[in-house]
Structure 1
Amino acid sequence: MDVLDLARTQFAVTGSLHFLFVVLTLGLAPLVAIMQTLWTFRGNPVHERMARFWGQIYVINYALGIMTGLVMEFQFGLSWSGLSHYAGDVFGAPLAVETLGAFFLESTFLGLWIFGWHRLPPKLHLACIWIVTLTAYASAFWIMAANAFLQNPAGAVDRGGHLELADFGALLTNPMLTFALPHVIGAALLTGGCVLMGASAYQLFRGSAEREFFTKSLRLGVVVAAVGAVVAVAFGFAQFGPLGEFQPDKFGGKPLAGAGLGFMILIGELFQFVVLFFLLPTVRWLPRWRWAHPIMMMLTPLPFLAAILGWLAREAGRQPWLIYGKLTVADAMSPGLTSGMVTTSLVAFTAVLGLLAVADYLLIARTVRRGPAAVTLGVPPGPGGPAPERATALSL
């Protein structure tokens, strides 16, 4: 491969690995918030234990996902300086807002939620996790706004060889954003629901003593997965309208984008059929149907695969443009790069992100296998439990 193809491959690999963390973070955050809401207003201790158990998995994924996001930031400066020079005034704006206004708030309130167990008043502590959820979705909005600008540079004008933002409202109402964002949210809810469903099915299949705990988790997972599947599929097909108007040649003669789209649609339709016509109608009895548990476990990785395929279809279909109709990928690449330089960074980034992904999977799998009895997040201080600070450290 030449240096351009290597740089594109590098971004595709690192972007795909990073998105695995993002889609699970967006999927789990509202579920943990719902669990804690049920505990706060109904007082069922099972819901508290659910919030702590699935919250610990959320924290693990969030902490490791931050590191993968840092690699993405480095690549804009290392490989794609032409993008910054030509469109940094526009493309950088939503990214800056995401970092300063959403990500920092999310991290701050997540810290308050982690260390606030048994310290903050229950409703104030509950507000923290809901703010975490809302700011996570605000982050997704700004990231998707930046990506939608690459798909359709709405609100920008070319002045003196670089783009300037002329209409901020047009940037935020970009047709390539308004349908894509709900599609991503639906995919995230489907992913989070399937993780709850698959992990709970695993514990029920092996005869866990925590039957009530995982019965409630499985049923919540099925319901959320059903909502996510409907939203993801509906808004996925709705995107064909803007695509036909702004990128009519997106999938023509581009095998990677045709293949990615086709398999993503296949997985989405499969989920919609299985969840809506099999799992949801029988959700009352599913926890007792041991034969169905392996099926639900096998479904768990499919939303992650669909998310990667969808991302590849969206990005590969834009080629050879980085900013559609304005800036080609070749012109956006940093000058002076050699194949050796990009290959070295490709190997390094892939190794680091790959190790983080493996570590994330192993830590989550261990947490699921050990069950809620071994959870350290939110353990009350005093005899029989570690202090909150040590509990948080152990949870990571």
Structure 2
Amino acid sequence: MDQILLARLQFAVTTVYHFFFVPLTIGLVFTVAIMETLYVKKKNEIYKKMTKFWGHLFLINFAVGVVTGIIQEFQFGMNWSDYSRFVGDVFGAPLAIEALLAFFMESTFIGIWIFGWDRLSKKVHLACIWLVSLGTALSAFWILAANSFMQHPVGFAIKNGRAEMNDFLALLTNGQVWVEFPHVITGALCTGGFFIAGISAYKLLKKKDTEFFKKSMNIALIIGLIGSIGTALSGHGQAQYLVKTQPMKMAAAEGIWKDTQDPAPWSAIAIIDSANKENKFEMNIPYALSFLSYSKFEGSLKGMETLQKEYAAKYDSKVGKDTNYIPPVKTTYWSFRLMIGFGVAMILLGIIGLVLWKKGRLENSKTFLKILLPAMFFPTLANSFGWIMTEIGRQPWSVFGQMTTASAVSPNVAGGSILLTLIMYVLIFTVLAAAMVYLMIREVKKGPAVEPGVTKKSKDPFDRVGA
């Protein structure tokens, strides 16, 4: 059994699964905070119901996300000890700050928010949920600061075979962070918005709590559309940054084997032949790649064959002769396009939904509502394909230009052990997923109605008073 392949597969499974929950947590808590803000300002009880109902779903997602995040962290010590040894001095600071500042901030104010409905003033209670939302964003920032070092290492020096941080400010001002962070946050807004829109569509089709879910849908579509457009714009900026810092990744994402002409066309669809390093078929849009890369209709890009020679001259002395610096092209190419495709679909759905809302036809547009049911998963798919492109496209590097994936794996962990733990993790994730789906469905079926026997004097933090 291939130790490196199994270690990579295990890390991919734990990371992708954990990232199912992260954007939904960020997007849901932001939307819940908006709803509670409307309740405090407008003093309309329906917004309190919305806050509590969607807040319950946020709490379920948050709990499962915490568990999967802990499992993911095990990977560094289990299968990637050489990697941890190499980057530990750099990674330690942002990850420690994330745990001590951002995660503790989230956890503390979530607790106060849950138990504070009848104990705090409305404005103080509102401040708590906004602090939770801020905490989730800060948590994402510190994680991305660590990830950005893998993509574009800065602020370090190599000493005794290890990367030692010598400029913390450089880590925080890394250009990679500031193109990744807006992209992740806006993607999270899409995730929260379309999640709420999808569930609201289901309820509107069932003709249950129509007014409640109409208002939820309206807020969700606005946030989903803003997030979708923001994701597209920030993704455009990120792609332009990668042209400068990781040209091989962008060449693979665009299926460019040889240097392009000037201006460069964009490959909308291609049949890629990796063995012969060529594309058997291409459907190109003239000028488009130059504009996407440089914001002007001129400029060429280097192909993977040229970059392979340049990388070999630059890095072979460090990582070994005849290293293949070309990542898995088909995976990088198609994951990039699938991410874009789902993103475009979300923008169109957001626009159509708001037009129908404006015309007063939203709740009666059965076709549109039925489309929104599967569309609630579009952001999750787009997020996942985006991260696959980001991480697969960086191969063969674990830390770009500094450490290959092959040299990062734990040297003394047998393939059989990795396979066993991989199977265990998949089983654990399956149980967690089943539990979360069950709890979510149960909450959705209950709806926002007040449960029999619950009074406004109830101190149960999960009571359904006004929810």
Partner of 2:423: 347
- Measured after TM superposition, the shift of residue 330 of structure 1 is 1.5
- Measured after TM superposition, the shift of residue 375 of structure 1 is 7.2
Q: Distance in 2 between matches of 1:330 and 1:354?
A: 29
Give the alignment partner of residue 357 of structure 1, picking from 413, 420, 433.
433
- Measured after TM superposition, the shift of residue 50 of structure 1 is 0.3
Q: Distance in 2 between matches of 1:375 and 1:42?
A: 25
Partner of 1:388: 460
Gaps of at least 5 residues in structure 2 are 253-325
Matched position secondary structure for 1:30? helix
TM-score by length of 2: 0.80
Share of identical aligned residues, percent?
41
- Measured after TM superposition, the shift of residue 5 of structure 1 is 0.4
Q: Distance in 2 between matches of 1:146 and 1:380?
A: 48
Q: Distance in 1 between matches of 2:139 and 2:77?
A: 21
Q: Deviations over 1:314-360 (max 9, x none)?
A: 11111111111111111111121111100001111121122212321
Q: Deviations over 1:208-262 (max 9, x none)?
A: 1x11111100111110110010011111121112211111111525222222111
Give the alignment partner of residue 281 of structure 1, picking from 330, 338, 355.
355
Partner of 1:87: 87
Q: Is the 8 A contact 1:118 1:380 kept in 2?
A: no
Tell me which structure has the larger Cα radius of gyration: 2
- Measured after TM superposition, the shift of residue 289 of structure 1 is 2.2
- Measured after TM superposition, the shift of residue 361 of structure 1 is 2.1
Partner of 1:238: 237
Q: Distance in 2 between matches of 1:375 and 1:196?
A: 22
Partner of 1:268: 343
- Measured after TM superposition, the shift of residue 283 of structure 1 is 2.1
- Alignment root-mean-square deviation, CA: 1.8
- Between 130-139 and 234-243, report the one with greater CA deviation: 234-243
- Measured after TM superposition, the shift of residue 380 of structure 1 is 5.8
TM-score by length of 1: 0.94
- Measured after TM superposition, the shift of residue 121 of structure 1 is 1.3
- Measured after TM superposition, the shift of residue 196 of structure 1 is 1.1
- Quick one: which amino acid aligns to residue 344 of structure 1? L
- Quick one: which amino acid aligns to residue 197 of structure 1? A
- Quick one: which amino acid aligns to residue 33 of structure 1? A
- Quick one: which amino acid aligns to residue 356 of structure 1? L
Kindly tell me: are residues 162 and 380 of structure 1, through their superposed partners in 2, closer, same or farther at Cα, counting changes over 3 Å?
farther
Give the alignment partner of residue 394 of structure 2, picking from 314, 318, 324.
318
- Measured after TM superposition, the shift of residue 290 of structure 1 is 2.9
- Quick one: which amino acid aligns to residue 60 of structure 1? I
Matched position secondary structure for 1:332? coil
Kindly tell me: are residues 201 and 214 of structure 1, through their superposed partners in 2, closer, same or farther at Cα, counting changes over 3 Å?
same
- Quick one: which amino acid aligns to residue 388 of structure 1? D
Q: Is the 8 A contact 2:114 2:462 kept in 1?
A: no
Q: Deviations over 1:115-137 (max 9, x none)?
A: 11111111111110000000110
Partner of 2:108: 108
Matched position secondary structure for 1:373? coil
Partner of 2:248: 249
Gaps of at least 5 residues in structure 1 are none
Identify the structure with bigger relative contact order (alpha carbons < 8 Å, sequence gap 6+).
Answer: 1
- Measured after TM superposition, the shift of residue 369 of structure 1 is 2.1
Q: How many residues align?
A: 386
Kindly tell me: are residues 390 and 300 of structure 1, through their superposed partners in 2, closer, same or farther at Cα, counting changes over 3 Å?
closer
- Measured after TM superposition, the shift of residue 167 of structure 1 is 1.6
Partner of 1:214: 213
Higher relative helix content: 1
Q: Distance in 2 between matches of 1:390 and 1:184?
A: 30
Q: Deviations over 1:261-281 (max 9, x none)?
A: 1110111122222322x1222
Q: Is the 8 A contact 1:23 1:191 kept in 2?
A: yes
Kindly tell me: are residues 33 and 179 of structure 1, through their superposed partners in 2, closer, same or farther at Cα, counting changes over 3 Å?
same
Report whether the alignment pairs 1:306 with 2:382.
Answer: yes
Q: Is the 8 A contact 1:117 1:388 kept in 2?
A: no
Q: Is the 8 A contact 1:191 1:304 kept in 2?
A: yes
